[in-house]
Amino acid sequence: MNAPRWVAVFDSVVLPLLALVGAVLMFGVFVWFGGTDPVEAWTLLFKGAFGDSFAWQNTLQRAAPLMLTALCVALPIQAGLTVIGGEGALVLGGLAAAGLPYLVDPSSGSMGTAAVLAAAALAGGLWIGLVGVMQQYRGVNETISSLLMGYLAVGLFKHLVEGPMRDPESLNKPSTLPLSEDVLMGLIPGQDVHWGLVWGAVVCVIAGIWLFGTTHGFATRVVGGNARAARLVGLPSRRLVTTACALGGAAAGLAGGIEVVAVHNAANASLIAGLGYTGILVSFVARHNPLAIIPVAVLFGGFGAAGSMLQRRLDLPDASVLVLQGFAFVLILAVEALRGRLAAKLAQRGALRAEAV
């Protein structure tokens, strides 16, 4: 029995908005206990994110990788798996992008940039694809394995960047050799935002079309809804699940590659900035819809951009926005519990009506 339309709107729009509003209110209470005027904190929070053109450019720059790391959660969850290892895929993607010139000399220009980004996507796709393989063929819990593999990826990244791949001239901050100027990603004309924003938005749109406009995407969602029924009708559930994981990992790996070719010019510890973990929150707020991920990523990019203004004006730590994200995550989890109860009540009412008929 299909749920009423208002229930779908309430579930996908109203509940996430209420969670975000609640998180902002709780953040105000948090800073109030520290002796700061919450109204001023709220004002500066949104002014630092969207107050002027500079704020918007900073926000959009931060939103670009969040779109892609959110897909690392959204695509596998459509196939029934909760993967939270986007941070590991991102750092390995960045490492692969910076490490490709160690193996081969990529062509100059756009072809070289494409080759470097392809290496990044391949590294992330293989890493998260392995999570899907272990879950489907060995029954390993994907949430735990992806989290642990994220720590493993960070450890591998640090070992290579600080050891065999270290640039001898990077003294205070170990880094790989800088990429050639020919393969770096430039800025959007007239804006102080790199082309990674366009890459992120385009990939989200393509993912949405794949999920909701193709038979392969429909089959993936069927597997995520009921894997046993999908197998009974002959769908290759293992292959579909593994593919969804690999595509999500490729998106996160691409985020790492874009950070290297557009921001850092090399792989270093700056890549380990928690973008993969923030992507988890972005995906849950967007209800794992690739198209909804775009505006939600912009919103959380804005929260991150506002941290420096809160630090300058109110003497709050730059990382205070992480508290806001933490509140949002807790409330989103609470919303998920409420959503589950609502679905159970609707199913119970539907069953009672069916018996009455």
Closest CA to 76 of 121, 139, 125: 125
In the chain, the percentage of residues whose pLDDT exceeds 90 is 62
Distance CA(199)–CA(206), nearest Å, equals 10
Count of other CB atoms within 10 angstroms of residue 305: 25
Q: What is the pLDDT of residue 343?
A: 62
Distance CA(221)–CA(240), nearest Å, equals 9
Chain CA centroid to CA 184, Å: 23
Count of other CB atoms within 10 angstroms of residue 63: 27
Closest CA to 54 of 191, 241, 240: 191
Query: pTM of this prediction?
Result: 0.90
Q: Which residues, in sequence order, are CB contacts of 255 under 8 Å at separation 6+? A: 64, 65, 67, 68, 69, 86, 90, 93, 124, 196, 200, 275
Residue 313, CA distances (Å) to 36, 47, 307 in order: 11, 12, 10
**pLDDT per position as a tens digit, 302-333:** 998 888 888 888 888 877 888 998 899 889 88
Half-sphere exposure of 292 (CA within 13 A, CB side): 15
**pLDDT per position as a tens digit, 139-175:** 999 999 999 999 999 999 999 999 999 999 988 889 9
Query: Angle 138-141-142 (CA atoms, 0-180°, nearest 5)?
Result: 100
Helices (H) and strands (E) in the chain, counts: 15, 0
Yes or no: say if 185 and 113 are a contact pair by the CB < 8 Å rule.
yes
Q: Dihedral of the CA atoms 144, 150, 152, 155 (nearest 10)?
A: -150
Residue 345, Cβ density class (10 Å: 0-12 exposed, 13-18 middle, ≥19 buried): exposed
Residue 2, Cβ density class (10 Å: 0-12 exposed, 13-18 middle, ≥19 buried): exposed
Yes or no: say if 94 and 176 are a contact pair by the CB < 8 Å rule.
no
**Residue 194 forms beta bridges with which residues?**
187
Q: What is the DSSP letter of 52?
A: S
Half-sphere exposure of 349 (CA within 13 A, CB side): 9
**Residue 175 forms beta bridges with which residues?**
268
Element (H, E) at 307: helix 307-314
Place of tokens 């409420």: 338
Question: What is the mean pLDDT of each successive set of 10 residues along the chain, which is 357 residues long?
Answer: 59 81 92 89 90 90 95 96 95 95 83 94 97 95 95 96 92 90 89 92 97 94 88 89 97 96 93 93 93 95 88 83 89 79 66 63
Yes or no: say if 295 and 101 are a contact pair by the CB < 8 Å rule.
no
Q: What is the pLDDT of residue 1?
A: 45
Distance CA(140)–CA(197), nearest Å, equals 35
Q: Is 224 helix (H, G, I), strand (E, B) or coil?
A: helix
Place of tokens 């209110």: 25
Residue 221, Cβ density class (10 Å: 0-12 exposed, 13-18 middle, ≥19 buried): middle
Place of tokens 């082309």: 195
**Residue 187 forms beta bridges with which residues?**
194
Q: What is the pLDDT of residue 4?
A: 59
Q: What is the pLDDT of residue 346?
A: 60
